[in-house]
Amino acid sequence: MTSTTIDSPRTPAGSAKRRGVNWEKWGWVYMRVSGVVLLVLIFGHLFVNLMVGEGVKAIDFAFVGGKWSDPFWKVWDTLMLWLAMIHGGNGMRTIVNDYARTPVLRKVLKGAILASVVVLIVLGTLVVFTFDPCPAVSADQAHLLPSFCPAP
Amino acid sequence: MSTATLDAAPSDADAIESFTVTLIIRRFDPDVDDEPRWQDFDVEMFATDRILDALHKIKWEQDGSLTFRRSCAHGICGSDAMRINGRNRLACKTLIKDLDISKPIYVEAIKGLPLEKDLIVDMEPFFASYREVQPFLQARTMPGAGKERVQSVVDRARFDDTTKCILCAACTSSCPVFWTDGQYFGPAAIVNAHRFIFDSRDDEAKVRLDILGGKDGVWRCRTTFNCTEACPRGIQVTQAIAEVKSALMRGTA
């Protein structure tokens, strides 16, 4: 005999649809963990860029190129990018949940946030890992290269 | 006569000083008004009088149409929560002496719930989320015949703070997350869930944690502490919410 199963009394409310990952919970945890890590990453970043050595005057194309030739700073900057973008995106999502009144507006705004987060993360990661200050160029474009590049 | 005041005219020397206090009350009569409007009243008050006394004086002597809820008038029924000078208070526990009467005192209904008339709001959304957390004892075991459920002092102390709730809605209607879309359960419902989640005699903590772990549950709390500040019973509401969060993290009460 087939029949629909009736839940036993006091079955947790909505347990059927809520089974699986509790995204709200992990979102909440993520905000706290990433916040602490970002505190170190961002202030470390600011300290190294603005205060160490010559300070802010040292920042130019060569400085950035130099940093991104070091795997340590590649990992540092990528981590900062991912953690900060998702942290910010999730924060914006929270604000939309609070203030967007209609379901359509909610969907549109959350979609826009997701799209911008994804685009910025992909572009940023691409730049960090493929950045080459001295790309191979044809001779007539060699003058466009920064001065520290070895002559072709 | 048991009341010693008013009957015998006191001499000037021992007369208790009274003050003229201006109250600006946010009035709304759904039959007449499209929008709430502010109306001021001057009342003669003693320092030891309460805002509720001022409202009574207005209703009895100046404008009988002023509408507000009150029942016990002693801070335990939770009927007269209202926004006094921008803070959620019980009118019956707010003394004139604790307010700056050199300026008018602003009195309005609590925020975030539908305004019905003057200082009265529709409490139904508030009680609906209260009901949703199953605020009643659910035990799977029976106490021994003729016995009561025994609980140690330590186990009782675990949830003592949240037993003090009088459901006045001062906390929930001070919560900016509750103001925004009203989907959030609100601090009061979480406080009352906390009271049973951490009760050693109750066996359905998991059910309540499931309810509060959802989309409109405790994760929407932004720890602004408005609720703790608003609670007329001094319940550490934000802490109770945080304890429910950490119970959800551990997966058990």
pLDDT tens by residue, B172-199: 999 999 998 778 999 999 999 999 999 9
Q: Does residue B148 belong to any structural domain of this protein? A: no
The answer to whether B213 contacts A15, with C-beta atoms less than 8 Å apart, is no
Instruction: Give the number of domains in chain B.
Output: 2
A22 — pLDDT class (breaks 50, 70, 90): confident
Contact B23, B34 (CB under 8 A): no
pLDDT of residue B135: 94
List, for residues A93-138, the tens digit of each pLDDT value.
999 988 888 899 999 999 999 999 999 999 999 999 998 888 888 8
pTM, full prediction = 0.83
pLDDT classification of B35: cutoffs 50, 70, 90: very high
Q: Are B182 and B112 in contact (CB under 8 A)?
A: yes
Reply yes or no on whether the pLDDT at A6 is more than 70: no
Q: Which DSSP letter does residue B72 get?
A: S
B109 and B70 within one domain: yes
Instruction: Please check whether residue A3 touches B, CB under 8 A.
Output: no
Contact A28 B219 (CB under 8 A): yes
- Are B81 and B127 members of one domain? no
Same domain, B128 and B238: yes
Q: Give the domain range for residue B55.
A: 16-121
Q: Which residues contact B123 (CB under 8 A, 6 or more apart)?
A: B113, B169
Q: Is B62 on the interface with A (CB under 8 A)?
A: no
Interaxial angle between packed helices B237-250 and B187-197, expressed in degrees from 0 to 180 and rounded to the nearest 10? 60
* Average of per-residue pLDDT values in chain B: 91
H/E element holding B21? strand B18-27
In A, minimum Cα distance to B249 occurs at A25
In this predicted structure, what is the pLDDT of residue A143? 80
Question: What CATH number should be reported for the domain holding residue B57?
Answer: 3.10.20.30
Q: Over 70: is that where the pLDDT of B201 sits?
A: yes
Residue B236 covered by a domain: yes
Query: What pLDDT shows up at residue A15?
Result: 47
Chain A residue numbers touching B197 (CB-CB < 8 A): none
Domain A29-134 classified CATH 1.20.1300.10? yes
Same domain as B194, residue B168: yes
Q: Which of the residues A25, A29, A31, A110 would you substitute to probe the B interface, choosing the one with the greatest number of B C-beta atoms within 10 Å? A: A25
pLDDT per residue over B103-146, tens digit each? 999 999 999 999 999 999 999 999 999 999 999 999 998 888 89
Task: Give the model's pLDDT for residue A16.
Answer: 45
Q: To 5 degrees, how large is the angle CA B29–CA B59–CA B17?
A: 135
Closest CA to B119 of B58, B194, B62, B68: B68
Note whether ipTM > 0.85 here: no
Mark whether B133 and B245 lie in a shared domain: yes
**Confidence check: pLDDT of B49 > 90:** yes
Cα nearest neighbour of B242 on chain A: A28
Residue B1 lies in a domain: no
Same domain, B106 and B160: no
Q: Let me know how long chain A is.
A: 152
pLDDT of residue B1 exceeding 60, the answer is: no
Quick one: B153 exposed, middle or buried, by C-beta within 10 A (0-12, 13-18, 19+)?
exposed
Q: Are residues B54 and B129 in the same domain?
A: no
Helices (H) and strands (E) in chain B, counts: 8, 7
- Model confidence band, residue A31 (pLDDT cutoffs 50, 70, 90): very high
Q: Is the domain of B33 the same as that of B109?
A: yes
Strand, coil or helix: B41: strand
Query: Please, which pLDDT band fits residue B226 given cuts at 50, 70 and 90?
Result: very high
What gap in Å lies between CA A46 and CA A59, rounded to an integer? 12
Q: Which CATH number is B165's domain given? A: 1.10.1060.10
Same domain, B136 and B90: no
The residues facing A65 across adjacent strands are none
